[in-house]
Chains A and B, each alone.
Chain A
Amino acid sequence: MTDTPPKRKDPRQRTPVPLLPPVQRSRAALGLTLAAAEGRFALQGCAECGAVQYPPRDACRACLSTDLTWREVPNGGRVVAQTRIHASPDPYFREHLPWRIGTVALDAGVPVIAHLHAAVSRGDRVRMALRLDRAGQGVLIALPDIEGSAMTSDPTLRAMGTDPRHRRVLITDARAPESLALTKALLAAGAAEVRLGEPETWKAWDGRAAFDGLAAVSLHPLDVTDTGSVRDLAAGLGGKVDILINTARHERPGGVMTGDLTRARDEIEVGYMGLMRLAQAFGPAMAARAADGVNSAAAWVNILPVQALAHDPGFASTVAAGAAARALALSLRAELRGAGVRVMNAYTGPLDDDWHQPLPPPKVAPKALAQAIVAGLCDGLEEVHVGDIARDLADRWRRDPRLLAREMEGGLS
């Protein structure tokens, strides 16, 4: 049962080497991964005749049109066959046997092979979801038709996901506006421990007292602009970071010609170099612990301004640093993919904080950002868009990045 906290490690046992389920996919099938990364349930369909098809193809099986699109489809279905696999030649699944799969007749009109949640069996109506598996590829899973408490303890979901339950979390900057809400949301989701980095411990700050007295919460000196500090904490915590959430960022308004070079440098130091320092200090240990039992290393979360998908004249340098961090995060994602550690990018619209004070609403409440991140971890997402502005921008970016760049010339408002 995965719902009881894991026992302490037996130091005589070797830590299992992280293995991945089959990772190879066709280009067409990556559409499932893209949808799963954002928590959408989408299948491939024909733009001409409308037929939905699975597995993804390069032409429509009904009319041979090559004009294929991905569309959100009803996620209901019925399990028509099931099996419990006891033998597999694949090294990853051998470690997870027995493993249940089934054939599900989707309401969308196609049969699929899917992973089965423990509470689902033949004949059941199910709710289908696209999830990222440990290899970071989109897979189908049949879930109970109604939400239930069993969701978090399901071994199949657990093996695929990044659920904070029983996991130990490092939040890199306790001073970020969302860090307190994030801490509380993680604890509510069952996180075993939340550690927070505290930069510039010599600089008193008002929010600090709010962390006092929270069980399983502790503050540790950590400044992502200081390589030594990052290394020291990584060495001190050893392999006790299962989820790392990088809340450190430096956001200041300003343009390019009138911008401030020292601030721009700070933005790069915190947002870009900071991510690189964290990745170098914490990444290898997390990669090595990706198969380390119930509280294995699971996820790395970056918080990025959604404008980093394009630009923002009002926050030119901040957003440029965010874009640099985003590119770095995508490479980090590729590097951690091999170990099965997920990199989630949480794109947020302007937060309701001091540095975005003159901007008009809607703005993202720090608590909303925190809840979106924890929900994303529970669902194992790679891409989370927080707030109306972020969702709108991401939608426009998906449709036409060049048009978005032009539209953004007027700024966010």
Chain B
Amino acid sequence: MTVLSDLITAMTRGSVRVIDLTHTLDPDFPVIVLPADFGQCARFRMEEVSAYDHRGPAWKWHNLSMSEHTGTHFDAPIHWVTGRDAPNGATDSIDPGVFVGPVCVIDFSAESARSDDATLEPAHILAWEAEHGPIPADCWVLLRTDWSHRQGAAYLNLRDDGAHSPGPSPEAVRLLLERGIRGFGTETVGTDAGQAQHFDPPYPAHALIHGAGRYGLQCLRNLDHLPPTGAVLLAAPLKIKGGTGSPLRVLALIEEPAP
């Protein structure tokens, strides 16, 4: 027996399950909204090429258009100015081994329920480590906020001073990077808090994590189905030449407790 055949057996028996952390690519799914003067993120769009009709009698297919950062998506280091020179920092040059790895899930849902602007601080991370042990090096860290349960305008939560959604403080990001994490993922539309432009540095998750050559995941869901530790994350972006990110299917493998 090999490790992989053991894995297949476990999956067949149901003791290892696949959790889908991905939102459906839907034209109605929100994208990040930047100030009107900036370029904007394209929403997901699909146009029918044919549908078993005169344009193609036996087949149906669509042309798609979207941004690299539409829907559940991956951020490569070169997405941010701080990571522009990161080695192997684009979607087509990242070592594919990075796309499969261990994951820690920090449950920040209670704080997020109390405040739209809940900020993850080092204290929260230290408290998590006190309970679950230190965050291992080269591990994905996902921030569970249950934000993916929100629908419509409540998801972006735009007000006249911008979006309001939870995210990490610069100090928290620095602490995670001290732990040597592989990447950081959230349920919100970005890895940063809605009001993160007011941090120093602004958008610390983007600035610091990509500056360190690490990766981001956003618009995740079903984080409430993952254990704090012990799951394996599969997140392989499309191999876009010089891509700064990519919509992708994010999966997690979890072990069911023995019956």
Contact = CB atoms under 8 A, between A and B. Distances in A.
A–B touch (CB < 8 A): the answer is yes
A260 B39 contact: yes
A223 B27 contact: yes
Contacts, number: 46
B42 to A, nearest CB: 7
Nearest to A354: B36
Contacts of A260: 39
B53 interface: no
| B interface, over-half SS | loop
A203 interface: yes
Contacts of A226: 27-28, 43, 45
Given A229-B27, A262-B40, A263-B39, A204 B159 contact: yes
Contact of A201 (B39, B40, B152, B160): B152
A226 B156 CA distance: 20
Contacts of B131: none
B156 A227 contact: no
Interface in A212-232: 221, 223, 225-229
B178 interface: no
Contacts of A221: 28
Interface residues of B, number: 22
Contacts of B30: 200, 202-203
Contacts of B45: 225-227
Contacts of B28: 201-202, 221, 226, 229
A262 B42 contact: yes
A223 B30 CA distance: 13
Contacts of A203: 30, 33, 153, 156, 158
B155 interface: yes
A204 B39 contact: no
A128 B45 CA distance: 51
A262 B43 CA distance: 12
A412 B39 CA distance: 25
Nearest to B26: A228
Contacts of B48: 227
A232 to B, nearest CB: 10
A246 B193 CA distance: 37
Interface string A174-211: 00000000000000000000000000111110100000
B46 interface: yes
B158 A204 contact: yes
Contact of B160 (A206, A229, A263): A206
A223 B47 CA distance: 14
A198 to B, nearest CB: 11
A331 B160 CA distance: 41
A228 B158 contact: no
Contacts of A263: 39
Contacts of B43: 200, 225-226
Interface in A245-277: 260, 262-263, 266
10 contacts: A200-B30, A202-B30, A202-B155, A203-B33, A203-B156, A204-B158, A227-B46, A227-B47, A260-B39, A262-B40
- Which 7 pairs, one residue from A and one from B, show the smallest C-beta to C-beta distance? A202-B30, A204-B153, A226-B27, A204-B158, A202-B152, A202-B153, A262-B39
